[in-house]
């Protein structure tokens, strides 16, 4: 049998691993036989040489098997989750999970925190007073059964090998690898006890994948590996060249997601939520096709069932459910300053990356995993791409704790807006759909 060092050399030299070899590496990482620096060497080799589909599946399975696969057999129905690769203003999960659950499809969701310029669902949910994401597996299972959805963070039991490998990738410049991202995302998602998965692969400046070619390759890889793992799966490639919705920042985004549940959310956010919900209802076998799924989701918003499921989920997770009907109960920054348009014109561009980075600088996001976030601060767009503005009209509001905090980000935020002399269209929201059937 090849030694562990010989396995590292094999990938370094561009060979394909035989079945079982990647499992051995991950198992050896768990026992301590393979050190972090040896794993890092293999990760760099895999980053440069690539992994084929079978190797990626084996890596996914090995990372999945490093922890527990949650058993949700006592929850009736086809369990479906959604995962987004992350963007700026992407608060879709917060409205989507209760909406889909209200339509009869259980949504067990293990989410992440914001890192870099992208926000995280857990940070947004924690803006709700009292809301807890660190529940036990037993509570998680019970809440999915009783409410239809529960949103928690990655526990120690879920894919511990991914946690360790992700920390190594973060500091060894090996994050942006399609097979490594595929295995990382799916090892966590497949541990949730789901039957099917909808993926929102974001494309553009505000996303991980900046161009359509790379995003498509990631989506295809995720779909292929999830399918071989026996799950129903659909990936949507969606636009992240403009912030999603009108808000950036934790409490502001949670409020906007609640607006979607009341049927008063912005058009782009509502549309993505409905498209993803419709697909989840089809995969969850309560709708025959997208049109029926969409109609069911719209009905659950219109008759209040989606908002009611949100209240129940918040209460079950120790939060204050009154926020659903009274957004003023969410934390608010003391100071709201407006950035005005320097001249009249058409909004030709709103750079999501610039606004995401400004949000991090204001304290809405983090640059290191252990940092705390400020739930109240953020940005509210008052103009979006394609709109006409007059000189002095508000481009956005900046919610801050101090005047100094505003001064620190004002120029960066103003520069994120480009004004032109001709009308420009916003562009398509859903760029492509890749179904795993
Ligand atoms: N999200 C993950 O969970 N893993 C990656 O590798 C990238 C994004």
* End position of a domain, from candidates 307, 327, 347: 327
Q: Which domain CATH number covers 126?
A: 3.40.1030.10
288 φ, ψ to 5°? Answer: -75, -35
Residue 436 to residue 223: CA distance in whole angstroms: 6
Domain containing residue 386: 332-420
What is the average pLDDT score of the chain? 95
Q: Which domain CATH number covers 16?
A: 1.20.970.10
Judge if 36 and 91 occupy the same domain: no
Judge if 294 and 352 occupy the same domain: no
At residue 420's C-alpha, the angle toward residues 414 and 425, to 5°, is: 105
Judge if 123 and 255 occupy the same domain: yes
Ligand 1 centroid distance, CA of 181 (Å)? 5
Asked, for residue 372, whether it belongs to a domain, the answer is: yes
Ligand 1 mutation target, pool 64, 116, 181, 201, most atoms within 8 A of CB:
181
- Whether residue 255 has its Cβ less than 6 Å from ligand 1: no
- In this structure, the residue with its CA closest to atom 1 of ligand 1 is 185
CB 182 within 8 A of CB 61: no
CA-CA distances (angstroms) from residue 72 to 42, 106, 143, 189, 257? 34, 10, 11, 13, 27
3-class state of residue 437 by DSSP: coil
CA-CA distances (angstroms) from residue 28 to 21, 24, 41, 419? 11, 6, 14, 56
Catalytic residue positions, numbered: 83, 162, 169, 184, 188
Judge if 316 and 340 occupy the same domain: no
- In this structure, the residue with its CA closest to atom 3 of ligand 1 is 185
Residue 26 to residue 407: CA distance in whole angstroms: 48
pLDDT at 174: 92
* End position of a domain, from candidates 304, 327, 350: 327
Ligand 1 centroid distance, CA of 401 (Å)? 32
Judge if 295 and 153 occupy the same domain: yes
293: pLDDT strictly greater than 80: yes
| Closest among 58, 47, 242, 247 to 161, alpha carbons compared | 58
Judge if 313 and 366 occupy the same domain: no
| Closest among 240, 239, 304, 300 to 274, alpha carbons compared | 300
Q: What is the pLDDT of residues 95-129, one digit of tens each?
A: 999 999 999 999 999 988 877 788 889 999 999 99
Whole-number percent of the chain with pLDDT over 70: 100
* End position of a domain, from candidates 298, 327, 356: 327
Ligand 1 centroid distance, CA of 183 (Å)? 8
Judge if 143 and 277 occupy the same domain: yes
- Whether residue 152 has its Cβ less than 6 Å from ligand 1: no
At residue 310's C-alpha, the angle toward residues 233 and 436, to 5°, is: 5
Asked, for residue 41, whether it belongs to a domain, the answer is: yes
Asked, for residue 390, whether it belongs to a domain, the answer is: yes
Judge if 192 and 253 occupy the same domain: yes
Ligand 1 centroid distance, CA of 244 (Å)? 20
Give the number of domains in the chain: 3
Q: Which domain CATH number covers 365?
A: 3.90.1170.30
Q: What is the pLDDT of residues 37-90, one digit of tens each?
A: 999 999 999 999 999 999 999 999 999 999 999 989 999 999 999 999 999 999
Judge if 237 and 349 occupy the same domain: no
13: DSSP letter: T
- Whether residue 181 has its Cβ less than 6 Å from ligand 1: yes
């Amino acid at each position: 049998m090849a030694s562990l060092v010989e396995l590292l050399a094999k990938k370094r030299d561009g060979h394909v691993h035989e079945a079982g070899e990647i499992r051995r590496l991950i198992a050896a990482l768990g026992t301590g036989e393979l050190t972090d620096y040896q794993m890092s060497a293999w990760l760099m080799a895999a980053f440069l040489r690539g992994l084929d589909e079978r190797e990626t599946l084996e890596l996914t399975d090995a990372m999945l098997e490093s922890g527990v696969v949650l058993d949700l057999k006592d929850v009736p129905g086809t369990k479906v989750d959604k995962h987004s690769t992350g963007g700026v203003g992407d608060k879709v999960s917060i409205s989507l999970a209760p909406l889909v659950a209200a339509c009869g499809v259980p949504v067990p969701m293990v989410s992440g925190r914001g890192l870099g310029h992208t926000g995280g669902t857990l940070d947004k949910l924690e803006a709700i007073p009292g809301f807890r994401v660190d529940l036990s597996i037993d509570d998680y299972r019970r809440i999915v059964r009783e409410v239809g959805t529960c949103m928690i963070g990655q526990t120690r039991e879920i894919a511990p090998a991914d946690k360790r490998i992700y920390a190594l990738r973060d500091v060894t410049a090996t994050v942006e690898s399609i097979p490594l991202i595929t295995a990382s995302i799916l090892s966590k998602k497949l541990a949730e006890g789901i039957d099917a998965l909808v993926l929102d692969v974001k494309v553009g400046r505000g996303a991980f994948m900046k161009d359509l070619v790379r995003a498509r390759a990631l989506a295809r890889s995720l779909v292929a590996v999830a399918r071989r793992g026996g799950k129903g799966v659909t990936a949507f490639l969606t636009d992240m060249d403009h912030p999603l919705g009108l808000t950036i920042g934790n409490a502001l985004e949670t409020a906007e997601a609640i607006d979607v549940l009341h049927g008063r959310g912005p058009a782009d956010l509502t549309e993505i939520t409905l498209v993803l919900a419709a697909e989840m209802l089809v995969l969850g076998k309560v709708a025959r096709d997208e049109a029926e799924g969409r109609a069911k989701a719209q009905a659950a918003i219109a008759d209040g069932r989606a908002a009611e499921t949100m209240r129940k989920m918040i209460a079950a997770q120790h939060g204050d459910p009154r926020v659903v009907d009274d957004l003023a109960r969410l934390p608010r920054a003391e100071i709201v300053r407006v950035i005005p348009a320097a001249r009249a014109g058409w909004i030709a561009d709103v750079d999501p990356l610039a606004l995401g980075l400004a949000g991090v600088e204001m304290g809405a996001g983090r640059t290191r995993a252990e940092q705390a976030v400020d739930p109240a601060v953020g940005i509210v767009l008052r103009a979006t791409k394609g709109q006409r503005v007059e000189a002095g009209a508000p481009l956005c509001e900046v919610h801050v704790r101090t005047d100094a905090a505003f001064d620190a980000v004002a120029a960066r935020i103003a520069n994120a807006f480009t004004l032109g002399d001709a009308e420009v269209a916003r562009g398509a929201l859903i760029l492509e759909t890749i179904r795993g059937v």
